[in-house]
Amino acid sequence: MPEDSPGHDPCRFVISSNGAGRMSMMLGAGCFLLAAAAVAGAGFLYLQLWPVGLWVSATFIVLATAIVLVGIRGNGRQVISIDSDVVVVETGQRQKHRDVFSRSWVRLEWHHFNSRHYASRLYLRSRDHLVEIGSCLTPSERRSLAHQLEVALPVISA
For residue 11, pLDDT over 80 is answered with: yes
**Mean pLDDT to the nearest integer, 109-136:** 78
Encode pLDDT of 20-62 as tens digits: 556 677 778 888 888 888 888 888 888 888 888 888 888 888 8
**Mean pLDDT to the nearest integer, 115-121:** 71
What's the rounded Cα separation, in Å, for the pair 82 and 78? 13
108, 123 in Cβ contact below 8 A? yes
Q: What is the pLDDT of residue 8?
A: 53
Q: What is the pLDDT of residue 5?
A: 46
Q: What is the pLDDT of residue 114?
A: 66
What's the rounded Cα separation, in Å, for the pair 34 and 44? 15
**Mean pLDDT to the nearest integer, 114-137:** 79
74, 136 in Cβ contact below 8 A? yes
Q: What is the pLDDT of residue 158?
A: 40
Q: What is the pLDDT of residue 78?
A: 84
For residue 71, pLDDT over 60 is answered with: yes
Q: What is the pLDDT of residue 4?
A: 42
The better pLDDT of the pair 147, 94 is held by 147
Residue 82's CB is within 10 A of a number of other CB atoms, namely: 21
For residue 6, pLDDT over 60 is answered with: no
Q: What is the pLDDT of residue 40?
A: 86
- Mean pLDDT of the residues in the chain: 78
